[in-house]
Amino acid sequence: MWNGIRRRGERRADQKNGSSDPAIKKVVALTGAGISVESGIPDFRGPSGLWEKFDPMEYATIEAFTANPKKVWAMLREMGELVENSQPNPAHRVLARLEQMGLLSSVVTQNIDNLHQAAGSKRVIEFHGNSKKLICMNCNRSYDRQEVKLEPLPPRCTCRGVLKPNVVFFGEPIPWGAHMEAREEAGSCELMLVIGTSAVVSPACDLPVIAKRAGATIVEVNLEETQLTRCTSHWFLKGPASLILQTLLDEIVGPKPT
């Protein structure tokens, strides 16, 4: 299955022979909360900690935030602590390595945890924003999360407006630039790796469909089947993202010497 990618890797070592190039030229990864589970950040729909306490549907809408920012900030503060104490796992690192090797064009992520950048990925399209910045809902002033005290909640701007993390809540639009860039990447890739997403959050879940319509092969990596598996994915690789991606990398470059 990885022949196209491997051939491209081989061609780099082999460029002088001028052979024809049947290799896959553009690979894009779309990631969701599942890729960060092995870093200790629970996803929304898995059976883990944070979301048993906080129903995401009750806490993740812009209406909920506007109506009761103190309540929603209690959840955000807990999630923020988890994110701050987490490290990239092998799945994040493999994607960074593939990019370094010239084999991956970009990572489009629905995550807000900054772990792709921490792993070394350079071209990360943040579809749902990033939790490192806070924005004043009144005057739009931006703050680094680190410089803002989270006591008392909700944190406030010097203008007394409520600060909101620079992430997309349900009911808010996707940042225009990220949306356009992600659609462009999806529509122009030849292979899309769809990793650790339940593919139920729109419009992110449209990206594999856009890619497939444009002729790309869709390779899905997940612990369980999703709504993409039967209709959209060409390949479904069942298992934890770190194991599957490390195996993919080993297939491309050969396993590490022991």
- The one segment of 140-148, 153-161, 190-198, 209-217 that binds ligand NAD by CB under 6 A: 190-198
Going by DSSP bridges, is the β-strand pair 106-109/217-222 parallel, antiparallel, or unpaired? unpaired
Closer of 175 and 196 to ligand NAD (Cβ): 196
User: How many chain residues interact with ligand NAD (CB under 6 A)?
Assistant: 27
Closer of 14 and 225 to ligand NAD (Cβ): 225
Selected binder of ligand NAD within 46, 120, 187, 203 (CB under 6 A):
46
Picking from 244, 87, 76, the residue whose alpha carbon sits closest to that of residue 165 is 76
Picking from 153, 177, 174, 159, the residue whose alpha carbon sits closest to that of residue 65 is 153
Closer of 91 and 157 to ligand NAD (Cβ): 91
Going by DSSP bridges, is the β-strand pair 27-31/235-238 parallel, antiparallel, or unpaired? unpaired
Q: How far is the CB of 255 from ligand NAD (least distance, A)?
A: 21
Look at the block and give the residue holding tokens 């799945």. 91
Selected binder of ligand NAD within 9, 28, 34, 174 (CB under 6 A):
34
Selected binder of ligand NAD within 6, 24, 36, 72 (CB under 6 A):
36
To the query of whether residue 128 is one of the catalytic residues in this protein, the response is yes
Determine if 197 is a binding residue for ligand NAD (CB under 6 A).
yes
Contact 164, 134 (CB under 8 A): yes
Whole-angstrom CA distances from 111 to 41, 127, 243 are 10, 8, 20
For the beta carbon of residue 236, count every other beta carbon within 10 angstroms.
Answer: 17
For the beta carbon of residue 133, count every other beta carbon within 10 angstroms.
Answer: 16
Q: How many residues does the chain have?
A: 258
Determine if 223 is a binding residue for ligand NAD (CB under 6 A).
yes
Determine if 126 is a binding residue for ligand NAD (CB under 6 A).
no
**CA 204/CA 191 separation, integer angstroms:** 17
Selected binder of ligand NAD within 41, 103, 157, 182 (CB under 6 A):
41
Catalytic residue among 116, 128, 179, 234: 128
Contact 78, 230 (CB under 8 A): no
Determine if 222 is a binding residue for ligand NAD (CB under 6 A).
yes
Closer of 45 and 123 to ligand NAD (Cβ): 45
Contact 222, 235 (CB under 8 A): no
Determine if 43 is a binding residue for ligand NAD (CB under 6 A).
yes
Contact 34, 197 (CB under 8 A): yes
Active site members: 128
- Provide the binding-site residues for ligand NAD, judged by CB under 6 A: 32-34, 36-38, 41, 43-46, 110-113, 128, 196-198, 201, 221-224, 226, 240-241
